[in-house]
Amino acid sequence: MNSRHLISVLAILSLTAPLLARDKTDVLVMKNGDRMTCEVKGLDAGVLYVSFDYIDGTSPVDWSKVASLESSQLFVVKTEGGSVYRGTLKTPKTPPDRPVEIHVVEATEREDSIESSHIVRMVATSDKFWERFNGEISFGTIYSKGNQSTQYSLGASSAYVRERWNAGATYDSNLSKSTGVTASTRNSLALSAFHLLPQQNWLYAGIGGLLQSSEQSIQLQTLLGGAVGRYLVNSNQATVQLLGGAAWQDTSYRSTTTTPNARQNTAAAVIYANARFFKFSKTRLDATAVLLPALSDPGRLRVNTDATYYVKIFGNLNWNVSFYGNWDNQPPKGLSGSDYGISSGLSWSYGLK
């Protein structure tokens, strides 16, 4: 099995089916008095996602306009201060001059009261393993008659959410070919797991990944690392994470006349940054950067970046434009030190959105 097949198999195994539908028995009351029976999917970026029996897909609701919410579904509720709760939801009667409060009712019948404006994320969860996943699938293609050039992009991501931790996988594949030129391929699988610490908004993480890049002559690059850091920003408009730690990287290069059977193992420091910016229901920007200054090879620096901008079309369907990049300031002699590109296509999300 070559590296491309290995990455594809692991990616398929890491991504799962969407959340199963449930009865639409939740009750949502708006500040203007509108009362709706629906299925609450979750809250993200200031948007409450709900579905109705009489409307296809998922509908966005402005969280700041919600006056009351009742749901027997289990949710993981996260606040801007970093606190996490798990339970069903209900809203007590609130005087007009008081902020709206959400009560999270845990299995022990304990109730935690939270001002709705302090809640930054709610994710529907379940006691069933397969109903705890959220994610999306995307595809794009570009064709040019002039030089018979065709580009394909395929992506998929999935996240498993629990009370104080979550784990996720993201797979991206890019193929570019044109008449008279050898096809260029890039396949990557990024793995991550985050766990909140008792201190406010602090967390630790494990990161990993596999990469194949014909442009850089990389047959297979493996990354394993760990880091600790915190949320610098955690609100309904943006989240920014910054972590630092250590990593190990093993890279096998394609044999050439200048690099026969080249393989390199590197110990490195790792700086991990992730940022998400949102605008109510319509647009979203996700960006991740991993800096790897080599400890065992001083002066060498590797950088991996990914960024995607989403525009909602309708329901769970989005248009997106993505950028990826990999840089190595000291590649093996005769090999390229960079690989980057831009793709555009459609994506379909499941679970929360």
DSSP assignment of 318-351? EEEEEEEEEEESSPSTTS-SEEEEEEEEEEEEET
**pLDDT per position as a tens digit, 309-348:** 999 887 778 899 999 999 999 998 888 999 999 989 999 8
Cβ–Cβ under 8 Å, residues 312 and 281: yes
Q: Is the pLDDT of residue 163 over 80?
A: no
Tokens coding 37: 């029976």
Cβ–Cβ under 8 Å, residues 256 and 335: yes
Where b means 16+ CB within 10 Å and e means fewer, 250-286 reads ebbbeeeeebeebebebebebbbbbbbbbebbeebeb
**pLDDT interval class at 194 (50, 70, 90):** very high
Instruction: Look at the block and give the residue holding tokens 């499941």.
Output: 350
Tokens coding 171: 């797979």
Cβ–Cβ under 8 Å, residues 100 and 86: no
Question: CA–CA separation, 245 vs 272, rounded Å?
Answer: 8
Cβ–Cβ under 8 Å, residues 162 and 185: no
Q: Is the pLDDT of residue 12 over 80?
A: no
**pLDDT per position as a tens digit, 226-243:** 999 999 988 878 899 999
User: What domains can be seen in the chain, in order of their start residue?
Assistant: 3-17+132-350 (2.40.160.20), 26-127 (2.30.30)
**pLDDT per position as a tens digit, 269-305:** 999 999 998 876 678 899 999 999 999 999 999 999 9
Question: CA–CA separation, 120 vs 75, rounded Å?
Answer: 13
Which residue in 161, 220, 169, 224 sits closest to 196, CA to CA? 161
Q: Is the pLDDT of residue 252 over 60?
A: yes
Question: CA–CA separation, 233 vs 237, rounded Å?
Answer: 9
Question: CA–CA separation, 18 vs 71, rounded Å?
Answer: 20
Tokens coding 241: 């994470």
Question: CA–CA separation, 74 vs 126, rounded Å?
Answer: 6
Name the amino acid, one letter, at 314. Answer: F
CA 141, 133, 190: angle at the middle one, nearest 5? Answer: 55
Question: What is the structure's pLDDT at 19?
Answer: 43
Instruction: Look at the block and give the residue holding tokens 């699988």.
Output: 189
How many CA atoms, within 13 angstroms, populate the side-chain half-sphere of residue 305?
16
Cβ–Cβ under 8 Å, residues 168 and 191: yes
Residue 9: what are its φ and ψ, rounded to 5°?
-65, -45
Question: CA–CA separation, 117 vs 128, rounded Å?
Answer: 30
